[in-house]
Copies of this chain bind each other. A is one copy, B any other.
Amino acid sequence: MNYRGGAKQYDRIDARIMEVVQKNNRLTSDVIGDQVGLSATACQRRLKRLRSEGIIESDVSIVSAEAIGRPIQMLVLVTLERERIDIIDKFKKKIKSSPEITTGFYITGDADFLLYITARSMKDYEEFTRRFFYENQHIKSVKTMVVVDRVKAGFALPVDLPHEN
């Protein structure tokens, strides 16, 4: 999607609505409307548009890692042997198909990928890495960082107005 097309994407009120639903998307339109000074109807219409235009990408439940018995959280920097497109694409597919990997970033800098991984226990994590990393031929190096504390959770973004408005 190209967001540079001249048409305006969202206004100040939309931004406020997004601030609210990024924290909680199960509030009724009535409640959201109260918070942004709009009727439930108007609020709902805006939300519908924001969703259909992909400005709101998706709506999801966040499950507690601890509650489902995955208290171990790791951040892993992975460097591949070479930066060849086919190797990178294959690695991306592996990431997507591995449920243990919650989030994966393809990056530039010291490493090629950063992975966010959860596990039931250290033993489980080690088993997974053995399987995942040592079975993959093109990994040059792996650097594991143990997550002690998630200071800020989620992907909430600071929705201010686009500069052109």
Contacts and interface: CB of A to CB of B under 8 A. Distances in A.
Number of copies: 2
Interface string A38-70: 000000000000000111111111111111111
A55 B63 contact: yes
Interface residues of A, number: 71
A111 B153 contact: no
Contact of A64 (B55, B59, B100): B55
Interface of A: 1, 3, 9-10, 15, 18, 21-26, 53-70, 75, 92, 95-96, 99-111, 113-114, 118, 120, 143-160, 162-163
In the complex, the 6 A-B pairs of residues with the closest C-beta atoms, listed nearest first: A99-B158, A109-B145, A104-B151, A21-B61, A106-B149, A55-B67
